[in-house]
Every structure is written in C-alpha cells, then in structure tokens.
Amino acid sequence: MNDRFTPWWLGALVALVAMAATRGPAAERPNVLFLAIDDLRNDLGCLGVAHAKTPELDALAASGRLFTHHYVNVPTCGASRYALIRGRYPDVRAHLSNGAIASTHEQWAASSLPAVFRQHGYQTLALGKITHYPGGRTGRGWAEGPEELPGVWDRCWVPESPWATPQAMMHGFANGVPRVPGKSPAWEAFDGPDKSYPDAWVAADAVRTLGELARTQEPWFFAVGFFKPHLPFAAPKKWFDIHDPDTIPAPVVTERPAEPSGWHGSGEFRRNYGHDGRDPDDDPEYARLMRHAYAASTSYMDAQLGRVVRALEELGLADNTVVVVWSDHGFLLGEHAIWGKHCLYEHALRAPVIIRYPGMPHPGQASDAIVETVDLFPTLLDLCSLPAPEGLSGHSLKPQLADPRALDTKPALGFWTGGRRTVRTDRWRLIVHRQGNQGEAYELFDYQTDPHESQNLADRHPDKVAELRAILNAAPDPSRPAAKR
C-alpha cells in the first residue's frame, strides 16, 4: 500500500485493528467471580474432613486448585477483608478492627483490588458481604451511613429480602426475623425452604446478575459474599438432617491453654446470643449441638454457592472466568475452650481457598504451599494481565497454579490486638504476646509432632523462637495507634 494515497480513514482503521490485536478482544479478557464465605474453617470434604458434607465446594476443588494451607492475616471479619481488598498487611492499629476499611479507605481506596480492575475497564460488582458491611453502607442498620469503600464499585448491594436491613440480614433468623443481641439463640433449624434464610436470596440475585453479565461485552469482576456459617448457626432443618451429630468429632484439645495464651472468653458467642444457662464447655450435648449446627450451616451455604457456580457454567461464562473461593477466617468449635475466632491459633487463621481458571494445568490437584490472603490481590491481577500497584505485601500464586508441587518460600504472618503477632511456616508456629513492661512471652507449636497445639515448646527451643522472631522483626507492627500513610 502506498502511504501517499491511503485515505485518512483507512489509516485510522488499520491503527484501531492493530491496537485491538495488541490488547486482545474484550471477550478474551477473563472475568472474575469471587466467592467470599464468612467464618468457614477447613471443614470440607475435599480437605479430608470425614463428617463434612460440602459437595459443591468439593466439586469446585476437583476442577481447580485447592490450597490446603491458606492463612488469613487477621482473625476478624473486617480486618481480614481489609487485607484482601488492599493487599497489604495491617500496619496500624485501626487495621485490626472491623472498621479497618471504613476508617482508613481515604488513603488507599484508589489502589484497592476492585479499583484496579475498574480502572482497567472492568465492571465491578459486590453482592452480599464482601467488605465488612453487607451492601457497603455503614451507620444505623448498616444502611444509612457513608459508603465503606466509596468509588470502587459500579454496584454494591444486598438483595431485596424479608430482612429489613443489611445488619438484620447478616445475623438473620428464619423469614426476616432479626437477632436480638444477648437473647436470640446461637442456632436455629427452621423446617422450611432454603429461602427461609439469607444466603438463598444472595444466590438468587447472583444468578440473576450473571444472566445480565452474560449479555455484556465488558469484562467484569463480580464478588459474591455469603453469610453462613457465621453465627447464628441457622439453616433449614433439612441441612441438619443430613448430618449425624454422633459422627462429628469433638476437638482433641478442649482445655484452656496455660499462660501465655491467646485464650479469650468467646464474647461474640456468649454475649450476642442467649444460651438458656447452657455452656458448651461443661455440657457435652450442647457442644455437640453447636458443632452440628455449624456443619448444617456450612452445608446450606455450600448448596447456595453451588447454584451460582452452575449458573456460571450454564450461561457459557466458565470458559472465560477466573473463579475464587475464599473464607475470611476460621472458627474454633471448642478447641482451646474457645467458641469463636479472635485469636492466633490454627483453627482461627486457617481457612479455605480454591482458585480455578480456564486452561489450568493439573486441575484437581491440591497445593500444600503456605499462602496468605494478601497473595490473592497480586494473583488475580497476574491472571488477568493487569499491573499491580506498588507496596503489595503478597505475591502471585501463579507458580502454584501452574504446578501444585511448587512450594512457597515465605511464611504466613498473622496479627491481632494487644501487640500479638504470629508467623507460620510449614512446620512451626510462633505466637508473640506483648506483656507491657515485662517484655514478650511466646507460644511455639510444632505441627509435625503436635497438630492440635497441645504443647508450648517455646522454652525447649529458644533458637527456633529467635529464628521465627527475626521474621516478625522485619514485618509491620500494627500496634501503632494512628495511620501514617
């Protein structure tokens, strides 16, 4: 072609075609379906838990990559979700609270996970509980205050439902009944359909939204947050009936640990719910009931999550969508005489992660690498070929996604209030307890010989304490009171 006689419009057309070829058509840019679960510990069938009935999550693990040793960075909802959304370890005290996002977002919202996707042409949607407040609002009923994370979502909402507010939905009992703090029971088994409880409404809205997204040309990042098995342990009776409570094992170690320890009084469980004078610590039948109700709530949530994944496949979207399942932390069900999270023990920090993407090699093979919540931000950007902002604490899990035998080279870090921090390697966990003017005290566990954390070996292995303490010396210290950046 002679450029002297090329019409201007033909040259422009050639340039546009070349640009499109460089970027790739919009249809080839992978979508992201991010499925968040609240308070789900590693009680899944695909993780070898015999009593678990989680066929939908098990099926997803069979077609993707299950990470058997994923650890959250803070054992409470809002702060764990801060680490996910910002991709950074907590570095000030505010980052350890459920208000971590709402109180600090002005400093970093523009470089958050959904913001990066939005800046690169993705639709961004958040349904249910993704940040701490379902629907993204603060204030009374979590419905009337400012946005928790403004400017990053094209839409952030909870479904229309019988529950009057997002807060009522979060702690909902059957058919729109809200929790009465300190009086409502910690469990409920209503003999009715799945839509008697909130997660079925979340699933229905997610399926409806996927149908709308299937008709769009732009790529999308769609985060769907389920409420169960978060307290109250409430689900339709049929999900209780599929479990035999006698097959759900009690913890091996149920005694309160000797000091120093991360034991606490299980305030969320004991103060926010009524127990009619019963205490699972000295009432084995009540403890069995709580574990039964947790398992039922997990199975109920699993079924709702399955509806969403099936819709993705039936709509023909699975071939161009990265799917992630993530839980914000675990939950102790009597281990160490704790009924809750809010500590740095294994059952509080270890939680499921599954990642699936089109063309993944070796699907169905699990990875035993030590990984952290902060690794998900760079991983998703890597899978979608998007640039990462500076300062992320984690690194991409693409090597483990390519080869499940690839192990990681960094430990997992955890942080909690009172200056407590922890480091987890493939064998060891060190927990550091700050004791004011008395310095520090330590818990050291060897999971190779003591998977139930029954023996504190800190006094026997001072060299190992020093080695692991050096890792924490290089990590952020979120005990500082005010944000510096």
Catalytic residue among 69, 105, 132, 292: 132
pLDDT at position 23 is 37
Rounded to an integer, what distance in angstroms lies between the CA atom of residue 96 and that of residue 78?
8
Q: What is the mean pLDDT of residues 20-48?
A: 80
Specify whether the CB–CB gap between 48 and 330 falls below 8 A: no
User: Which whole-number Å values give the CA distances from 115 to 149, 192, 387, 389, 424, in the listed order?
Assistant: 10, 40, 12, 11, 30
Closest CA to 408 of 390, 421, 392, 395: 395
Closest CA to 52 of 332, 298, 351: 298
Residue 277 has pLDDT above 60, yes or no: yes
pLDDT at position 436 is 81
Catalytic residue among 46, 70, 77, 384: 77
343 is catalytic: no
Residue 147 three-state SS: strand
Contacts of 157 (CB under 8 A, 6+ apart): 126, 127, 135, 136, 205
27-403: CATH homologous superfamily?
Alkaline Phosphatase, subunit A (3.40.720.10)
Domain-wise residue ranges, the chain: 27-403
User: Which whole-number Å values give the CA distances from 285 to 53, 58, 153, 247, in the listed order?
Assistant: 21, 29, 45, 13
pLDDT grade, residue 417 (50/70/90)?
very high
The torsion angles phi and psi of 182, rounded to 5 degrees, stand at: 85, -10
Element (H, E) at 35: strand 31-37
pLDDT grade, residue 438 (50/70/90)?
confident
- In the sheet that 440-446 helps form, which strands lie side by side, from edge to edge? 412-416, 420-424, 428-434, 440-446
Residue 175 three-state SS: helix
The average confidence (pLDDT) of the chain is 93
Q: Please write the tens of the pLDDT for every residue from 333-381.
A: 999 999 999 999 999 999 999 999 999 999 999 999 999 999 999 999 9
Rounded to an integer, what distance in angstroms lies between the CA atom of residue 425 and that of residue 446?
10
77 is catalytic: yes
Contacts of 114 (CB under 8 A, 6+ apart): 85, 124, 126, 149, 152, 153, 221, 223
For residue 12, the tally of other CB atoms under 10 A from its CB is: 10
Residue 169 has pLDDT above 80, yes or no: yes
Give the torsion through C-alpha atoms of 115, 117, 119, 124, to 10 deg. -70
Residue 413 three-state SS: strand
pLDDT at position 482 is 55
312-316: list long-range contacts, CB under 8 Å, 24+ apart. Answer: 312/33, 312/210, 315/210, 315/211, 315/214, 316/214
SS (HEC) of 210-224: HHHHCCCCCCEEEEE
Residue 78 three-state SS: helix
Residue 145 has pLDDT above 60, yes or no: yes
Token duo for residue 274: 């009524």
Q: Among residues of the chain, what percentage have pLDDT more than 90?
A: 91
pLDDT grade, residue 1 (50/70/90)?
very low
Q: Is 83 left (phi over 0), alpha (psi -120 to 50) or beta?
A: alpha
